[in-house]
Amino acid sequence: MARYASSEALNALLQQALPAVATAGFHLQPINGLSHQSWLVASPVGMWLARGETPQGRQLGTSRQREFQVLRKLSGQSLAPRPVCWREGWLLVEWLAGEPANTRQFAQSLAQGQLAALMARLHHGPRYGYPLPLKRLMAQHWQHMDPARRSPRLMRACQRVINKPLPTPLLIAPLHLDVHPGNLLCTNKGWRLIDWEYAADGDIGLELALLFRGGELNDAQQQDFLQAYCQYWPGLCPTSLRRQVARWQYWVDYLVLMWFEVRWRQTGEAYYRQTANALRDTTGWSD
């Protein structure tokens, strides 16, 4: 059974995992985010990030225990924050000093091939051991959205993604699955990726389709990325990879829309409903 985060459990975790912090004293500062409970742990002896397990996060497919194991796999690869521990619903990781990529920096990382190199390095690594349960996740999203918003067209889309076979994988690799400017951190040691809560093993075509969607890459940026990315994969050409990305587009459109639908039901915040409505119009799933 999942253990959900509480302030008492976080204080106990800090006492046990970081006794020097407990001795020196600390204060907690909430970190804004779209889907999770995160706190900056600030102390005279250092800074850490505490990420809590929540029922809302579980509905979206996150698991702090899985995230901890993923980060352990990535330790020493200069890709992600270093994990400290996972206990009683809380994941504790090192705090990475830096700033999320702004529009100019993100475009530059694409044009100069830096993001392609970073993601190729991730995809060349050993698998996490957590295959992405995509069909189950899509069915779960349907269960947790607002029933009043289950339109006939959206129901047909759900039936299609559930019943239709997934695209044949081009290459199974460890994926991040939430790469966008806000999760690309510019540090004094180079680019790092943060927020690994959705990470799992899956097809690189899905990862890149999500990147192109979440990062709002135009055609020229997509082509530049694919050219740079394929330099790290002998035998893989941009044309075949672009075709694979296109095969995943329907599933990606559905996943992104349903994420906002679930968040709308969880929070009641107009931003999520408005974004979901816009996505329905874009995909043709409005009634």
Determine the Cα–Cα distance for residues 128 and 14; give it in Å rounded to an integer.
27
Q: What is the pLDDT of residue 126?
A: 96
The predicted structure's pLDDT at residue 216: 92
Q: Has domain 99-283 been given CATH number 3.40.50.720? A: no
R_g of the chain, CA atoms, integer Å? 19
In angstroms, the CA 73 to CA 176 distance is 13
Residue ranges covered by each domain of the chain = 7-94, 99-283
Determine the pLDDT at residue 3.
Answer: 52
Whether 27 and 14 have beta carbons less than 8 Å apart is answered as no
Closest CA to 144 of 156, 133, 158: 158
Q: What angle do CA 176, 272, 5 make, to 5 degrees?
A: 60
The class (CATH top level) of 7-94 is alpha beta
- Please report, in tens digits, the pLDDT of each residue of the chain (287 residues total): 345 556 677 777 888 888 877 777 787 888 865 445 788 888 888 888 999 988 999 999 999 999 999 999 999 999 999 999 998 889 999 999 999 999 999 999 999 999 999 999 999 999 999 999 999 999 999 999 999 999 999 999 999 999 999 999 999 999 999 999 999 999 999 999 999 999 999 999 999 999 999 999 999 999 999 999 999 998 899 999 999 999 999 999 999 999 999 999 999 999 999 999 999 999 999 88
What pLDDT, on a 0 to 100 scale, did the predictor assign at position 5? Answer: 58
pLDDT the model gives residue 25: 77
pLDDT value of position 1:
39
pLDDT at position 24? 74
HEC profile for the chain? CCCCCCHHHHHHHHHHHCHHHHHHCCEEEEECCCCCEEEEEEECCEEEEEEECCHHHHHCCCCHHHHHHHHHHHCCCCCCCCEEEEECCEEEEECCCCEECCHHHHHHHHHCCHHHHHHHHHHCCCCCCCECCHHHHHHHHHHHCCHHHCCHHHHHHHHHHHHCCCCCCCCEEEECCCCCHHHEEEECCEEEECCCCCCEEEEHHHHHHHHHHHCCCCHHHHHHHHHHHHCCCCCCCHHHHHHHHHHCHHHHHHHHHHHHHHHHHHHCCHHHHHHHHHHHHHHCCCC
In whole angstroms, what is the distance from residue 155 CA to residue 273 CA?
A: 17
Q: State the helix-helix crossing angle for 114-123 and 204-214, rounded to 10 degrees.
A: 150
pLDDT at position 31, please? Answer: 82
> What is Dmax (Cα atoms) for the chain?
59
